[in-house]
Structure 1
């Protein structure tokens, strides 16, 4: 859905299935310190967007949005890439994800087949489109020496960077920062504080693996075994 929902609207949707928390969004308690009229505006906004009819009943479009949000909140795993948080509904080949829009609290809620997600990533992440260097066919990751880390830290900017976080329900499982320097790809595991030179094959592998997108693994498995 391309509708933009406020935080209040998101929690009104969640209230329809008695959910008081939404992973990745500010806690519902934040709403308690805001002007109470915001909830009234949010309720009217859901009517204006066709989520509710004039009688306050859930429409077909509203049922679709509520179902997607409910599946999102019941996920046992989340993957965040930049401002997008993916959830993994059970017994489906689709992903549900929330996109935070702009500096203000605006959110979009989407459902997408896993086979279409790579197209989304290609549009959003420039590093996916980089051309692999010739030697990247020989490895997935190469650990960098301590003296190389300072140079990489000095080269790290917010431009052309992928911030990849993998969460369980209550904790961070992995956090990778992926970036390029002088046409070479690097990554930092922020939990182990290890720095690596990475291949394009590793980048695609970690994105596809974490998002559970099917692909042919024979060639990548060969590199991993080296």
Structure 2
């Protein structure tokens, strides 16, 4: 007499690449899971095993994409800064010289605020972790210094003379990048951040430089044209 096979037992699916959401790359799912864990448990309280478990893959599969959690954190941090630098490089490559520094600055601040608003699990909260001072994160710190210098250069060119006469370009850059990074605080305080905040923050950057409401409005209109031009240029095949 043949006996029927025993019923299958419900349980956790076997961890494998096949369990991953096929619409999101394995690498991106690892980054998203790590961002969540770093925000919840801190960097030192997270492990590659915990990250792999959250994604639903073997720990060894994670190492196919990243050398370790330091590598993951470095990419997450870079992703919160690099898009803004790339945008500025697009402006300088594609936008005619006659476009104003105020318009370019408004566009940059808007894009930067949007990038920080969209980073997974508010990864910007990790900027002040003591681990970030490790040489392994030199690339991120250098990128952020580069972005701050860009803010300083555009800000000094856009500011009214009575502002630039009392403050250095370096200080302008430090102030403007801190204004933009208020998005991180808004998200951390559970106040949220919306697309409207992007423009408000960009306008605030110009206001501290002494620009009037009319000048800020003109810069915003110019920024819309700049952004559209850069995005169209970036979409064109090389």
Give the TM-score normalised by the residue count of structure 1: 0.30
Give the TM-score normalised by the residue count of structure 2: 0.29
Instruction: Tell me: higher relative CO, structure 1 or 2? Use CA pairs within 8 A at least 6 residues apart.
Output: 2
Q: Which has the higher helix share?
A: 2
Report the structure number with the largest CA radius of gyration.
2
Q: Which has the higher strand share?
A: 1
